[in-house]
Amino acid sequence: MSMDYRLVRHLMYFLTVAEERHFGRAAERLGISQPPLSNQIKVLEHALGVQLLDRSRNGVRLTPEGQAILPHLQRFADHARRLENAVTEAKNGRSLNMVIGAVTSAMFSPLGPTIRELRNCRPDLNISLIEMDSSDALSALENEEIDVAFVRANRVWAPLEVLPLFEDQLVVALPDNHPLLSENAVSLPMLANERMVLCPRRVSPVYHDQIISACQQAGFSPRIFHEAKSILSQIAFVGCGIGVALVPLSLQNLGTVGVEFRPLLEKVDVITTALAWSKLRKHPDNDLLADIARKSMVK
């Protein structure tokens, strides 16, 4: 079956409008005028037989049908960008691809040196790095959308293999006017009545469960006041005075405004970086990457 490239173009127009939530900004981003863009979206809606956008003077919002197709379209656009990149790299002599998913916090570990060393060892390898949540990265591995992932995990997720690389200790992130800053160290029971900022379990099940377990062992269930999308977001919300957070020690030197850190009296270790891959679809350079990553994490 041949591909209808006009439909693909119309879908990309819709994706841009959906991301901007405004026809004028979407048209500017696409480099076309607004009336033709609006007409193209109407043509798309007619072809699909559904209304994708609700239009008003304040902008646009997605209809339930528009919301239903948006995630699939975003993945399609992501694959299209990877394909375009692969073609460019192939022209430059890099014919083999490796797509790596990585959690945000891994960017602040020796991931950078690991990728650079891999490039030095395999100059013909085209490496694509995608920022992803742990749960999304593990799902992407199972769906064969990426080759390897740097995630927060500490066990095998069949049919995936997980190699823990870096273990860190938890510290307490506090707003810079918090009374607990008078303490040289903070014990977990001191946080029993504090409003806590935590990553939702769906984003990073292992990291979430480790913190919940540590609090429960200290005799309380944490009062989760706000859920942040990443550990870095946790620290940022602490800086806004939203609450306190338990975060890895390695992130306390980021220099976030309005945040200070105190060590925990209890020693609570968490896996902050692990390398994961599919047993069913192992990349030819997987062992090389694992070896480089292990050496980088030791430094």
Segment 203-260, tens digit of pLDDT = 888 888 889 999 999 999 999 999 888 888 899 999 999 999 999 888 887 777 899 9
Ranked by mean pLDDT, the top range of 121-125, 197-201, 261-265 is 261-265
pLDDT given for residue 193 in this prediction: 94
What's the CA gap between 97 and 129, in Å, rounded? 11
pLDDT given for residue 40 in this prediction: 87
Confidence bin at 191 (pLDDT 50/70/90)? very high
Who's near 47: CB < 8 A, 6+ residues apart?
7, 10
pLDDT given for residue 23 in this prediction: 86
**Cβ(126)–Cβ(89) below 8 Å:** yes
What's the CA gap between 13 and 4, in Å, rounded? 15
The residue to which tokens 């690991």 are assigned: 114
Between the alpha carbon of residue 77 and those of residues 8, 16, 30, 57, 144, the distances in Å are: 10, 11, 15, 28, 17
What's the CA gap between 223 and 189, in Å, rounded? 12
Confidence bin at 295 (pLDDT 50/70/90)? confident
Per-residue pLDDT, averaged over 281-299, amounts to 84
Structure tokens at 73: 């379209």
**Where are the extended beta strands (E) located within 143-202?**
148-151, 160-175, 195-198
Q: What is the mean pLDDT of the chain?
A: 85
Confidence bin at 1 (pLDDT 50/70/90)? very low
Alpha helix positions (H), 167-259: 205-217, 231-239
Lowest-confidence pick of 1-10, 52-61, 84-93, 274-283: 84-93
Q: Does position 156 have pLDDT exceeding 80, yes or no?
A: no
What's the CA gap between 202 and 31, in Å, rounded? 38
Between the alpha carbon of residue 228 and those of residues 174, 177, 200, 265, the distances in Å are: 15, 21, 7, 25
